[in-house]
Each structure stands twice: as structure tokens, then as C-alpha cells.
Amino acid sequence: MGLLKKLFGKPLDELTAPVAGNAVPVSQVPDPTFAEELLGKGIAIEPTEGKIFAPCDGTVDMMFETGHAVSLVADFGAEILIHVGLETVSLKGKHFTIHAANGDKVKKGDLLIEFDLDAIKAEGFNTITPMLVCNSADYNTFKTNVGKAVTNNDVVIELSK
């Protein structure tokens, strides 16, 4: 095993999809803050259900009181932002249920947020959900797996320092 590690380097760290849906390049998010990677590289998902799961083991850095977004620090160091929809902060928490708090240790697949997808769409909001690695510049390798339907068990970002 040591020889393989020397030949091929350490394995890539992985982030799974935080929500079920269609994974697309972050450049397709109709908001320049996300699309132009101003906050970091990542992916986006057009959700088909209203549950946000932890994409890796880590710690909740900030759960927004409105439930529209959460930031996590992965055990391997990635600083992750998951943002449900666009401009959804203006809903002031309506249609969102929070299941984690600041400082909580979470495991990959833990439920973080539930949201009423249909109600948010009915209010006219785009529900595309970006997941960004805010410290993506720290990683030499950054691969995204997009262009397909995903569940929270599917790896959508692979990275290594």
C-alpha cells in the first residue's frame, strides 16, 4: 500500500451532493457571485427534493438563522458554503426547517436543513443550490462531477492539496 501511495499520491477528498437533483456547473447559476466563482469554486444542483445533507464529515461553522444557507468546515479542511436558492434570504426563514446548529459536529449524510421546494418555487424564487469550496485556492486538484442526476450519496467534488 505504501508503494501505491508514493506512486499515486494521497487519495482525493470527496464531497457528496448536499441535495438530490441535477448537478450542473456553477457557471450556470444565474447570479454572478456564484457563477464567476467570487466565493470559490464549486457546483450547483437543481433540486428535486427539499433536504440538505452534510456532504462530508465536519463542523457546522455557521447555520444562517433563516435556514437558507449553511457553512461547514470539513474534517479535511475545506470551507464549504451551501446556499439554497437565489435571494431566498428574503423569505426570512419561511419554508425552511433547521436541523443543525453552529458548532455541531456532523457526519456525511446528516440532515442539516429541510425546505419546501414547491412553496419556494411558488413564491417565484429560483431554487438552484450552489455548493462552493470557499478556500478552493488551497487545493491543487479540484474536480467536479456534473451533468447528471445525483443523490446525497453521489460524489460531486473531488479535491486534494
- Active site residue ranges: 83
Identify the residue whose cell numbers are 437558507.
68
What is the distance between the alpha carbons of residues 122 and 139, in angstroms, rounded to a whole number? 39
Q: Do 19 and 151 touch, CB atoms closer than 8 A?
A: no
Q: Do 69 and 110 touch, CB atoms closer than 8 A?
A: no
Q: What distance lies between CA 123 and its chain's CA centroid?
A: 23
Q: Do 47 and 129 touch, CB atoms closer than 8 A?
A: yes
